[in-house]
Structures are given as structure tokens and as C-alpha cells.
Chain A
Amino acid sequence: MITLTVNGVPHTLDIDPSTPLLYALRNQLQLNGAKYGCGLGQCGSCTVIVGDQPVFSCLLPVAAVGERPVRTIESLGTQENPGPLQRAFIDQQSAQCGYCIAGMVMRAQALLERVPSPSDEEIRAHMQPNLCRCGTHMRIIAAVREAGRAGAVTGTGTGTGTAAAAAGASS
């Protein structure tokens, strides 16, 4: 049995320990924000926050998550009441097809929790692992910049674990 704490709620799942976290989120927990893109860690559409780090959930086996809390885009807000970063993405009309956006938002969220008002250079460097096939990168950067300027995103305090906290899943 695997225990995962996702968006503050603990779940005990009877799944193969080598199941990628993304599959558990989508199939077992019906959290369908994070998307399957390439399955190779090349595109970033599966990005969620584990501990305080943005990770490719398609490559992270559930057994390796350990004690680290998992956060998905569903933790940031709802359609009726979007969170500040989601609001900025809407204001800037950053989505075209939208497939990459949940991953983009979660990667940006991790940056803003660490660096509340990042420079464009910091945003570009941090967002580099995530790809957008529609080419809306400029609007995505604008949204992250806007959220940063507004100072609307701060650390949540739930993201305390680093990779070291995953030790429980190790030998």
C-alpha cells in the first residue's frame, strides 16, 4: 500500500509502487489537471509540486514520494474562484489549446513561492523545462511577471519537504 498526501489530503492506494505519480493522480484520485504529454520528462505538461520542487510526475514513482506533500493545480483555486496565479494566466490570456498550462502554472507557482517577484531572466530560466506547442510563451511569461509584481503568490508553508524527505521510500 502506498500513502500519498495530495493537496493536503492523505490517501492510501493499493497500486504498484513503481506507478508514476501522474497515473495515480489521474486514475486513482481523478485529479486530471496534470497532463500526460511525452512520458519522458521532456515537455513538462505533467508538472506538479512535490515538497517545494516542481517535478515531472510522469517519471516519479509513487514509492519515491515518501513523506513529501504533493500539490496539483487543483489546490490553487477553482473555475469560479481561481487563485492569483491562475487569475494572471486568465488576465494575460496565456492559454491557447491549454494542454501545457497546468504544468506551466505549477512550475511558475514553485518559483513564486521561492522568489516572490522574479526578474524576466529568472522566469525564463526557471520555466525552461516546460514546453508550449502553441507558442504562447510570451503570454505565459507575462502572466508569471504579473503575478510576481502583484506579490499575490507567497509560500504556502506546506511545501517544506525536499528530496531528503523522500528517504522513507528508500532502502
Chain B
Amino acid sequence: MRGKAIPVAALLVVVLLGIAAFAQTRQPAVPALASAAAPSGDPALIEHGAQLAAVGDCMVCHTAQGGQPFAGGRPLATPFGTLFTTNITPDPATGIGLWSLEAFSRAMRKGVSRDGHLLYPAFPYPHFTRMSDGDIAAVYAYIMSRTPVSATAPSNRLTFPLNFRPLVAGWNLLFLHEGQVADDASESADWNRGRYLVNGLGHCAACHTPMNALGAERSGQQFAGGLVEGWEAPPLTKLLQAPTPWTLDQLVSYLSVGLATQHGAAAGPMLPVAHSLADASQADVKAMATYLMSLQVPAGSPANPAANSAATTAAMSSATSDAASPQTVVAQSPTLKNGELLFRAACASCHGAGSPMSTLAERPSLSQSTAVNADSPRNTVRMMLDGIGWQGDGPAHYMPSFATMFSDAQIADIANYTRAQYSTRAPWNSLDESAVAKLRKETSQP
């Protein structure tokens, strides 16, 4: 992965900054509470905190697979090694039961643990620092109302010298810009609320912005797309360039139920985000979508509403004709011919023209798929390798994994055929057997 070769110069900068910032490498402890914090007696505050925690996706990272909610222990694969999330249940011994609101606020704002040690920025305090006092207090009240679980996370496995926590002080000097941002009076209340949630608690940019060599979001490239757990987190600034341009309603649907009927289903690391947002206040989700829609850079064409709606109509009618009578395939090369053959047997029962999934279940044609139309074949390949597992009792977006059924070359053939058949964009020239083999090795598990 891209973080493997950290430029030596950059490393030196961190080391020097780390030394320069040595005075700040450890902050004073905030005194522990004498006994576990008493849960708030205010159910409305706890409910508000629960909805905010859903925006912050706290439970997704702070719960191990099959583990107790908020008890931590989930491995986070980073370019610098593996971190394990901590127990944030109110257990006094192994969780944060003895943390006062002051200690909790400091962690959210400055990335400092109650005892004074510096937290790694995989915990998105550079975003949480934007939160209001009231919202931090609500999240605190909610977390402290959870069931205490005794669980200690495994030790982090970071590469030297990044396992030396005081270096984070240098990182913070460079990349932590503390505090709230004032509302923009020229924008709507929804937009301001959305910006506050997207850039703060929601920490969308943590995945959807490319990282620099030090694991911080690259300045000037906010929302230009990133890589997370082997998946591409698509750019959030090109939503109007999709085959059918995104609309506010489609984005609200995607964020809150994980499905946009004109684009597809959430998968990979985005799926739990959508599940979490289902529990958020729907007004907040709409505000986030409002802000995200305002970030769009239309490519080439003017972005006036009339042009957009014309494009939408055109794309929709092409999608419809797609479903009714698919274009006859371009498949001339052996790769595409083989891809077509495999697609007919393995994919067409769901993704083919007239399949029940598209005619009855409102799932869009692959011609609308974000992954199939992306610059990189990564997510198309990832979908075939990983599929989408069953989601318990939740709304079922399911796709079987084809990892053990097909060879790397076969996966490449199917992906190349799918691109040629369903996208009007240029072929993925680099997608071959070895490219799939490489993607196969990148997984969410360290």
C-alpha cells in the first residue's frame, strides 16, 4: 500500500517536530472520577447523544467483530501498522467509566487520553474538534448510559518509530487545527448544519480524502477520494458526473438506507456507515446531503439545473433501454469473450436485463453503478471478491463472494467485460490477472 515507503525526509520532519514539541508530548492527567460516572437522568439528552453517535459512527470502529457494542478491539489496518480500537463503555477498569466530561471533551478536541497520553489520529479528533460543547456533552451522556463491558484491546502493532506516541505531538502541530468553525451567514441553516456534521462528527473526509505520507488528509484535496480497507472511497465532488447525476433525495436515501435506486448499494466500509446513519436524525442526514451536494464540481458542462435535469432524463432513458434491450456486446477480444461467457452464467441472473432484481427490486442497471463507471477498477473487483454479506435482519443488500469460485484472470475478464458492456467510459487497460492478484491480498483484516 501507498504508506509503505515513507519518505525519509518526511520522517525526519516528524522526528524533529516531535522533539520540538516534546514539552507537549504528554498532557497532565484529568483526575479520575471517584467512581463510575452516574448515567445522566435526562433521557432526551441521551437520545440526542445516540443520534449524534450514529452520525459519528462510534460503534462501527469501537466494536470488534462479534464483540460487545463499544467494547473496542476492532483492528484498524493503517499504512503504519495495526491499531486496535479501545473500550469506550463506562467500565471503570477497562473502559472510560472514570472519565469526567472534561476528560472526554479533551479527548474529542485534542486527542489526549484521560491519563494524559496522546491518542493516535486514527481516532478522528482532528474532525471531532469541530463539535459544540452541547453535542460533546450529549454524546458523553449517551456513551455513559451504555452497558459497561470489561474488555482490554490487544496491543497496537505499529512500525518503529511510529509506535513512539510522543511523535504524535509533532503530527498535531502540523495537522490538528483545533476548535469550531463559525457558521457562514450567506448559506442556509441546513447547509451550515450539514457542513458542521460532515466535517466534524461525521468525519467523512477521513476516508474520502487522499492521505499524505504522514497519514493526514492532503490539504487542498478534500473529498477527492481515498483508499480504505482495500476499497476506494470515491470522490465526493463528482456526484454530478455520474451517469445519472446524483440528487439530494438519492443521496439522502443512500446515506440513510444504503441504497440509491439510480446508483447502487453501499458496500465495503461504507455499508456500516449507512447502517449507522439509519439511526441518526433524518433532518441531520438531509443536512449532510445538502452540504455534500454543494461541493460538486461539474465537469465541462454548465451546472445549471436545466442542464442537469436534461442529463438526468437522458441517462434515465438510456438506463431503461439498457434494461429492456442491452446493447450487443462489443466482445471481440478473447478477454471480453470469456468475460461475457462467465458473466452470463454467474452475474446475469441478478444483473442481466429483465432480472427480478432490476425489474422488481428497483436495483439499477450496472450502467449506473459508481464502481463500474469509476476511474479505477478497484471497487468492481473488490465487489466480486468480497460480495456483500448478509446483514442480519436489516434490509438485505446481498451479493455472494466470488473469491473462491473464480481465478484472478477470470475476475479480470468479467470486470473488463462489465466495463465494456455497461459503461461508456474507456476500458481499464491495466486490469489483468496480476492486478486482481494484488487486490486480492488487500483486505480489511491486517
State whether B400 touches A42 (Cβ < 8 A). Answer: yes
Nearest chain A CB to B70's CB is how many angstroms away?
Answer: 21
Taken residue by residue from 128 to 171, chain A's Cβ proximity to chain B (1 for < 8 Å, 0 otherwise) reads as 11000000000000000000000000000000001111110111
B335 at the interface (CB under 8 A from A): yes
Q: Which of A59, A63, A162 has the most CB of B within 10 A?
A: A59
Residues of B within 8 A of A164 (CB): 407-408
B296 at the interface (CB under 8 A from A): no
Residues of A within 8 A of B406 (CB): 64, 163, 166
Residues of A within 8 A of B335 (CB): 171
State whether B400 touches A64 (Cβ < 8 A). Answer: no
- How far is it, in angstroms, between the C-alpha of A102 and the C-alpha of B322 when the chains are bound? 38
- Which of B121-129, B239-247, B345-353 participates in binding chain A? B345-353
B342 at the interface (CB under 8 A from A): yes
Nearest chain B CB to A160's CB is how many angstroms away?
Answer: 14
A39 at the interface (CB under 8 A from B): yes
Q: For A59, give its contact among B337, B346, B390, B398 (CB under 8 Å).
A: B346
Nearest chain B CB to A44's CB is how many angstroms away?
Answer: 9
B403 at the interface (CB under 8 A from A): yes
Residues of A within 8 A of B342 (CB): 18, 61, 63-64
- How far is it, in angstroms, between the C-alpha of A58 and the C-alpha of B346 when the chains are bound? 8
Q: Restricting to A42-70, which residues have a CB under 8 Å from any CB of B? A: 42, 50, 53-56, 58-61, 63-64, 66
- How far is it, in angstroms, between the C-alpha of A50 and the C-alpha of B405 when the chains are bound? 8
B284 at the interface (CB under 8 A from A): no
Interface SS majority for chain B: helix
Taken residue by residue from 314 to 354, chain B's Cβ proximity to chain A (1 for < 8 Å, 0 otherwise) reads as 00000000000000000001110110011011100110000
B214 at the interface (CB under 8 A from A): no
- How far is it, in angstroms, between the C-alpha of A53 and the C-alpha of B400 when the chains are bound? 14
Residues of A within 8 A of B301 (CB): none
Of all chain B residues, the one with the shortest Cβ separation from A59 is: B346
State whether A171 touches B405 (Cβ < 8 A). Answer: no
- How far is it, in angstroms, between the C-alpha of A115 and the C-alpha of B194 when the chains are bound? 50
State whether B345 touches A18 (Cβ < 8 A). Answer: yes
- How far is it, in angstroms, between the C-alpha of A58 and the C-alpha of B349 when the chains are bound? 10
What band does the interface of chain B fall in when counting residues whose beta carbon is under 8 Å from A?
20 to 34
State whether A170 touches B345 (Cβ < 8 A). Answer: no
Residues of B within 8 A of A63 (CB): 338, 341-342, 345
Q: Restricting to A13-59, which residues have a CB under 8 Å from any CB of B? A: 17-20, 39-42, 50, 53-56, 58-59
Of all chain A residues, the one with the shortest Cβ separation from B355 is: A40
Q: Restricting to B392-411, which residues have a CB under 8 Å from any CB of A? A: 398-400, 402-410
B413 at the interface (CB under 8 A from A): yes
Q: For A167, give its contact among B337, B390, B404, B409 (CB under 8 Å).
A: B409
Interface size on A, residues (CB 8 A): 32
Residues of B within 8 A of A55 (CB): 404-405
- How far is it, in angstroms, between the C-alpha of A17 and the C-alpha of B338 when the chains are bound? 10
Residues of B within 8 A of A166 (CB): 406-407, 410
Nearest chain A CB to B435's CB is how many angstroms away?
Answer: 14
Nearest chain A CB to B38's CB is how many angstroms away?
Answer: 36
Residues of A within 8 A of B389 (CB): 128
State whether B405 touches A129 (Cβ < 8 A). Answer: no
State whether B349 touches A171 (Cβ < 8 A). Answer: no
State whether B413 touches A171 (Cβ < 8 A). Answer: yes
Nearest chain B CB to A65's CB is how many angstroms away?
Answer: 10
Known contacts A40-B349, A170-B413: A61-B407 contact under CB 8 Å: no
Q: For B345, give its contact among A19, A50, A54, A129 (CB under 8 Å).
A: A19
Known contacts A42-B398, A53-B404: A17-B341 contact under CB 8 Å: yes
Nearest chain A CB to B418's CB is how many angstroms away?
Answer: 15
Nearest chain A CB to B282's CB is how many angstroms away?
Answer: 30
Report the 5 A-B pairs with minimum CB-CB distance, sorted nearest first.
A61-B345, A41-B400, A170-B409, A53-B404, A171-B334
**29 A–B pairs (Cβ distance < 8 Å), ordered by A:** A18-B342, A18-B345, A20-B345, A42-B398, A53-B404, A53-B405, A54-B404, A56-B405, A58-B349, A59-B346, A61-B342, A61-B344, A61-B346, A63-B341, A63-B342, A64-B342, A64-B407, A64-B410, A163-B403, A163-B407, A164-B408, A166-B406, A166-B407, A170-B338, A171-B333, A171-B334, A171-B335, A171-B409, A171-B413
